[in-house]
Amino acid sequence: MAWISLRIEAHDNTAESLSDALMALGALSASIEDANAETADEQPIFGEPGDPPPGIWQQNIVSALFNDDIDVARVMSDLASETGLHNLAYSVEAVAEQDWVRATQSQFDPIRIRDDLWIVPTWHDAPNPQALNIILDPGLAFGTGSHPTTHLCLAWLADHVRPGLSVLDYGCGSGILAIAARKLGAGRVIGTDIDTQAIEASHYNAAQNQVEAAFYLPDQLAPNQLREEPADLVVANILSSALSVLAPALAAACKPGGSIALSGILREQAERVSAIYAEWFEMNEPVFLESWVLLTGRRKCAS
């Protein structure tokens, strides 16, 4: 069987109603994506601990999957009647039949971070059994090790984690950085994310790797917990716009003399973000991988 993918442009105040209506009209699945994903206009969704959920993007693509015998014109007409939204811009794409499990698995081989650090899906044997191997399958949350920003952060952790050091993974996604920190010998490790699925994925992945780490939604953290229990190492792999806004909070979450690693930053954004963090940190030279940047620094001690 083949399928039809129907992709509809939507604003933030219409995306959810369109998604719900498409499901009611027989869609096999429906999802909402950032229309500007992987562009300079990509919009972050983030918040500080205690803030209310931030919602969805301003410009969206609502993507719905139908059987290939669907009458797209009829769906769009019924959708307009159901929602009151007319003249919606949309596109249609045929999706060929295939073994989705095997197709997905074939895209994810073990990922070498260093000779002694690998990310290994559950369906593969570890290329180097003596290495530190993080068992991780692709899932709903960001962070499989394949993206350059995750790679940069993992390599930094491998160089900086020492036995007993505390680590904060801000925007933990799949939990990969927190899990790596624990496997590298860190003591107290906390991960936080605004996405419920990210917290669920992080708990699952930690169990898969037989490590203990605490993962929280922001409102599950005690007020001022990150400020009152600052970490030796803080790592945040999120968008540069979020990093810019969260600089005071991340600085407060890092001990004086502690270290920070920031990624999710494009080359052209590095100087601006580094300048913001220089208020609190002695910043190091950036590290580049493809078009992405890792910024690191040491927390200034109070004078």
Asked whether the beta carbons of 159 and 180 are under 8 A apart, the reply is no
Would you place residue 75 in the very low, low, confident or very high pLDDT band (cuts 50, 70, 90)? very high
pLDDT for the residue numbered 35: 77
- What gap in Å lies between CA 82 and CA 96, rounded to an integer? 29
pLDDT for the residue numbered 303: 54
Largest CA distance in the chain: 71
pLDDT for the residue numbered 205: 92
pLDDT for the residue numbered 41: 60
Task: Inform me whether the pLDDT recorded for 107 exceeds 80.
Answer: no
Would you place residue 47 in the very low, low, confident or very high pLDDT band (cuts 50, 70, 90)? very low
Supply the DSSP symbol for 166: -
Phi (first) and psi of residue 267, to 5 degrees = -50, -45
Instruction: Give the residue among 266, 237, 39, 40 at the shortest CA–CA distance from 144.
Output: 237
Would you place residue 111 in the very low, low, confident or very high pLDDT band (cuts 50, 70, 90)? confident
Instruction: For residue 79, count CB atoms less than 10 angstroms from its CB and return exposed for 0-12, middle for 13-18, buried for 19 or more.
Output: buried
> Which residues contact residue 71 at a Cβ distance below 8 angstroms, ignoring those fewer than 6 apart?
none
Mean pLDDT of 22-41: 80
pLDDT for the residue numbered 239: 87
Three-class DSSP category at 104: helix
Mean pLDDT of 49-66: 68
pLDDT for the residue numbered 36: 74
Mean residue pLDDT across the chain: 86
Q: What is the pLDDT of residues 260-296, one digit of tens each?
A: 999 999 999 999 999 999 999 999 999 999 889 999 9
Distances (CA, A) of 16 to 22, 34, 78, 83: 10, 13, 16, 11
Task: Inform me whether the pLDDT recorded for 100 exceeds 70.
Answer: no
> Which residues contact residue 278 at a Cβ distance below 8 angstroms, ignoring those fewer than 6 apart?
297
Supply the DSSP symbol for 224: T
pLDDT for the residue numbered 38: 59
pLDDT for the residue numbered 53: 42
Residue 184 gets the label, from left (phi > 0), alpha (psi -120 to 50) or beta, of alpha
Domain spanning 149-299: CATH superfamily: Vaccinia Virus protein VP39 (3.40.50.150)
Percent of the chain with pLDDT over 70: 86
Domain range summary for the chain, segments of one domain joined by +: 3-97, 149-299
Does the domain at 3-97 match CATH 3.40.50.300? Answer given as no
Would you place residue 44 in the very low, low, confident or very high pLDDT band (cuts 50, 70, 90)? low
Would you place residue 54 in the very low, low, confident or very high pLDDT band (cuts 50, 70, 90)? very low
Task: Inform me whether the pLDDT recorded for 51 exceeds 50.
Answer: no
Three-class DSSP category at 95: strand
Q: What is the pLDDT of residues 157-176, one digit of tens each?
A: 999 999 999 999 999 988 99
pLDDT for the residue numbered 4: 87
0.75 cut: is pTM over it? no
Task: Inform me whether the pLDDT recorded for 52 exceeds 50.
Answer: no
pLDDT for the residue numbered 270: 94
Instruction: Give the residue among 55, 26, 27, 29 at the shortest CA–CA distance from 43.
Output: 55
pLDDT for the residue numbered 197: 87
